[in-house]
Amino acid sequence: MGENSAYYNSLKQKRRQDTENIKSSLPQHVHGFVDECLLRYQPSTAFNYAQDILFFYKYLKEKNPICRNLELQNITFEVIENLGPQDINEFQNYVASGHKPDKTGNIKPVNERAIARKMAAVRNYFQYLVKYDYLNADPTIKAVIKKKDPEKKDIRRLDSEQVQKLIDSVENVNSASYHSRVMSEITAKRDLAIVTLLLNTGIRVSECAGLDLTDVNFDENSITIVRKGGYEDHLYINELIRNTLKDYIKNERPTLLENAEDPALFISLKHRRMSIRSIQHMIEKYGKNTGLSQKLTPHKLRRTYGTALYNKTSDIYMVADVLGHKDVNTTVKHYAAIEEEHKRQASQVDVYGTDDNQDND
């Protein structure tokens, strides 16, 4: 149950093993940094750091003449000692220019967030080397730090009409193909429960996939989830969520189970816990059935809920608490940007007091 469930323990063990596998492909002088990441961070974060450092060393092998004929494990520490700020700038340009073709064969520039993430790993790596006196100076300190683009990111979400169309599509099992419609009928109650849960709590898809049956408490009308940072949290559910979950658990979940002891709340047609990817595909399918022009994702449903809650309450701290944001600035950035709604409201405000009932001076 919760963060101590077999599901989350297996995820952590897999991430740790994946990180160890990356470590084994890197030079010996990098191993201590990876080990420290495993001690300091959640397994998924440590894995991301290891991946980004692996990417950095692959870049050195590709671009540094000294390293081209060497295996990654054989890149010497002398190469790292001789790197300067300009070398770090060249690495940033390499990341920014793109290095892999997409599905159409074109190489697209990498977004700023991806560059920042890789640079965060590289900076942490050099800080580690200086901290333990492997290096005298950190070349990333004098490297260029790109200023953030002041343009606001378009925050995509569903409006109330689109939300209703989506729910209707799930409830009525609307589908373009016969096969898809038949398969959806088998899981109609499960799919409605998931969509209702995402739209009315704003939980992440990973939090949804990790739910066990025992994480639902109908006596308290609450669910127990494991947040992104690995900590346990409790959310209250409304009557709509309660009813759809009860309907699914009583009437459909038993038909999907192969093993009655399976703890997972949401079961796939393969008779095991639904994966994050399968929930994403399911949401995308219903988005297409609804006729949405843009791809529908679980995260878009999360943003839809966050924005709707903010519109109703104007309480950004409440939204932050419910969505599990440790920093309210994250909430402000992603959920309080509702300029179009503000513009519509502004058009109805009598700012100059021209109402007929206003006293004339």
DSSP 244-298: HHHHHHHHTHHHH-SSTT--BSSB-TTSSBPPHHHHHHHHHHHHHHHT-SS---H
- The model's confidence at residue 333, banded by pLDDT at 50, 70 and 90, is confident
Q: What does the pLDDT look like over 223-264, one tens digit per residue?
A: 999 998 788 999 999 999 999 999 999 999 999 999 989 999
Give percent of the chain above pLDDT 90. 66
Domains and CATH numbers, the chain: 2-131 (no CATH), 160-345 (1.10.443.10)
Burial class (CB in 10 A: 0-12, 13-18, 19+), 189: buried
SS3 156: coil
Q: What does the pLDDT look like over 101-150, one tens digit per residue?
A: 666 666 666 778 788 899 999 999 999 999 999 999 999 999 998 766 55
Q: What is the pLDDT of residue 196?
A: 97
Indicate the helix (H) or strand (E) that contains 128: helix 112-131
Q: What is the pLDDT of residue 310?
A: 87
User: Tokens 């989506």 identify what position?
Assistant: 166
User: Tokens 């739209």 identify what position?
Assistant: 199
Token digits for 274?
A: 């639904």
Least confident range from 87-96, 211-220, 234-243, 286-295: namely: 286-295
Q: Report the number of secondary-structure helices (H) and strands (E) in the chain.
A: 17, 3
Confirm if 244 and 189 have CB atoms less than 8 A apart.
Answer: yes
Q: What is the pLDDT of residue 109?
A: 66
| CA–CA distance, 245 with 253 (Å, rounded to integer) | 10
- The model's confidence at residue 343, banded by pLDDT at 50, 70 and 90, is low
Q: Which residue has the higher pLDDT, 60 or 106?
A: 60
**pLDDT at position 338 over 60:** no
What is 14-25 written as a DSSP string?
HHHHHHHHHHHT
Q: What does the pLDDT look like over 178-189, one tens digit per residue?
A: 666 667 789 999
Token digits for 278?
A: 């399968």
| CA–CA distance, 72 with 69 (Å, rounded to integer) | 9
Q: Which residue has the higher pLDDT, 333 or 220?
A: 220
Q: What is the pLDDT of residue 354?
A: 58
Confirm if 44 and 227 have CB atoms less than 8 A apart.
Answer: no
Q: Which residue has the higher pLDDT, 339 or 255?
A: 255
Q: What is the pLDDT of residue 361?
A: 47
Over range 147-154, report the average pLDDT.
Answer: 55
Q: What is the pLDDT of residue 155?
A: 58
| CA–CA distance, 281 with 302 (Å, rounded to integer) | 16
Q: What is the pLDDT of residue 179?
A: 62
Over range 17-46, report the average pLDDT.
Answer: 96
| CA–CA distance, 57 with 163 (Å, rounded to integer) | 46
Q: What is the pLDDT of residue 27?
A: 97
- The model's confidence at residue 153, banded by pLDDT at 50, 70 and 90, is low
Q: What does the pLDDT look like over 63-85, one tens digit per residue?
A: 999 999 999 999 999 999 999 99
Over range 142-166, report the average pLDDT.
Answer: 77
* pTM of this prediction exceeds 0.85: no
User: Shortest CA distance to 274 belongs to which of 221, 202, 197, 343?
Assistant: 197
Confirm if 266 and 278 have CB atoms less than 8 A apart.
Answer: no
